Structure 1
Amino acid sequence: MAKIGVLGAGGFGIALSVMCNKMGHEVTLWSAFPAEITEIIRDGQNLRLLPKVKIPQEIKLTSNIEDLQGNDLIILAVPSFAVRETAHKLQPYMGEGSVLATVAKGLEDQSHKRLSEVIAEELPQCKIVVISGPSHAEEVATGVPTTVVAASSSRQAAEHVQDLLMNPTLRIYVNDDIKGVEYGGALKNVIALAAGICDGQKLGDNSKAALMTRGITEIARLGVALGANHETFGGLSGIGDLIVTCTSMHSRNRRAGIFIGQGNTARQALEKVGMTVEGYLATKAAYELSKSVDVEMPIVEQCYLVLYKNKSPKKAIADLMGRPKRHESETIWLQTK
């Protein structure tokens, strides 16, 4: 049995806490909002973010970050926009060589840094592991078989996470390509928004299959340009996460896209979903990153124009379909470009 601290009482934070409790670990679940902790204690669950999933009484609920001190593993499960602030708060309570795993998927706004880079700036004493892959909180919490990767520049730290968290319903592979794992996890949300727009426009299976296939190609193209390994994008944190996020109604990104495809503005769609939609900020980051390294990402570009410049989805789809002819092979295209 280990002592595990989870920061973030949203859907995935609760799912991981419940799972770790079932494994026999001693779990502390922290929220930055005392009112949220009060409501969870009162209701025995988070009615807004993960209804019907009961939180065992053995899990310690707290809004005092000092209670996270001295754990064998810390799991950061807050939205991407809260990662830096939360890591900064945690700094006094993390010892040298402590292992911190993050399940947040996104890029920091403005700087476009990967979240492990953000955490490393705030917690230089920690070994950082990124957990990513097709893993809806609703399914992890109820024991649906799930497979993810644990990526780190420290193989020892990744294997530590693998040893502590792997169980009969969660299989974990280790991966050394932390850049690829993070870019895959962040950028698939952009394609999931686009997939939702396709659904809102009632385009059908052919369109979504093409979007997902060309979408992972764009993600890999940018990821490789930024130092990731191409192979990673064919794995769980790439195509695996892309599939689940583009096809499931558990996906907030897809749901937001559906609203946009039905005629709502991006702002209206975000309000209707009512929860963090990571793909909105990730679209802007991906677009700006692609321009900075001169990488062509036509789907991402059209998503950016729809979300931030009020371009109509119908016109964006027409422009994608009307692009100049080219070879499907990236290698051949780059040689003849």
Structure 2
Amino acid sequence: MTYYPHGDPTEPADGYPGSIFATGHDWNQHVSEISIPVPIISPDKDLDDLNTATTLQDFQNIRGDLFGEFEIPRAGLEYLPAQGGQTTDKLYFCWAQHMGEAETNPSHGWCELDLSNPQTAGAWRIGDYWNYVTTDYIFAIPQQWANANTPGMYLATGRFRDGGQGARGPSLLAYGPWNEGNPPAPNSTLSAVPLLLYTDVTAEDDFTMDNYHHSDEWSSGAWLTAGDKSAVIFVGTKGVGDCWYGFANGVVWPDEPPYPPVPDAPYDERGWWSTAFEGQIVFYDPAELAAVARGEMEPYEPQPYATLQIDEYLYHIEPAQQRHHVGAASFDRERGLLYVFEPLADGDKSLIHVWEVAAEEATAPGP
């Protein structure tokens, strides 16, 4: 999802202007534009209390024929105003599939904001990096920070792949496709600067995110700013307690036979599991990412300095081992509003949660 500041221009002045572009059902991942109604805090978490967004542009396939069929697709979206030699604002996107070890397929592109006539351009590779670390989220880098540390690169892209296949923690790379053509040629390899990149599970060095689990899911991110404060966040579902590969009931799947029988539903899904899962937002210091960009720190050195647990605000959390607590996120920088999807919270429909981001108020000096 991405916030679009100029969307829905005829809406009432309710403090929540603009619109959101987002993908729909995972089978198709077409893109639509929706309005932003006034958020409601329902003390009883009653869905009937909440306002409902309206569709401004119907779902459309903005990918064109850039990609074939995807097995469990991963996608990211971000809006930016016209850059470089561009004459129109763009939606930037990435797409790849869940499986694809060592693949560096073209994955990124851009299109116009008129979804019925997207004029799609791409697809392009992000350096020589695996799709496992480049293709699940995109968000804007504040221009002042980018000018100082990644000149001309105002987009950050990345992905976390469970099992440590790609990196053992979220990844983040800066890029700016307008620097390499308007548009760059199809199948181009774009320049990219790594800002955060832990080592993968096959590496001899064990450089991981603090408190890392193979079952983690970091599904989105944003670069928050408020006054002179800033933070890079990742939003996701964090495994806690023990972690294993196998089934949710604790049955571990061995590397070699004999293999155990598959448990009955609802424990028959094989994958990475933890004792429990929590919806979390983790915070990174942009100063550390700047040090990485300057070559003063390694991309695997930054660590989160704070964690916000958000399950108390969510509507559909039931069993302790429920995954996918939250999904995509986007940020209205002008008003300091962070939008976060909670998938399948109302039947097949998602909810959007809104947090107000503000700098800490200065405290009065002591006597």
Q: TM-score range by the shorter chain?
A: under 0.3
- Flag the structure with more relative contact order, 1 or 2, with Cα contacts below 8 A and sequence separation at least 6: 1
**TM-score (structure 1 length as normaliser):** 0.26
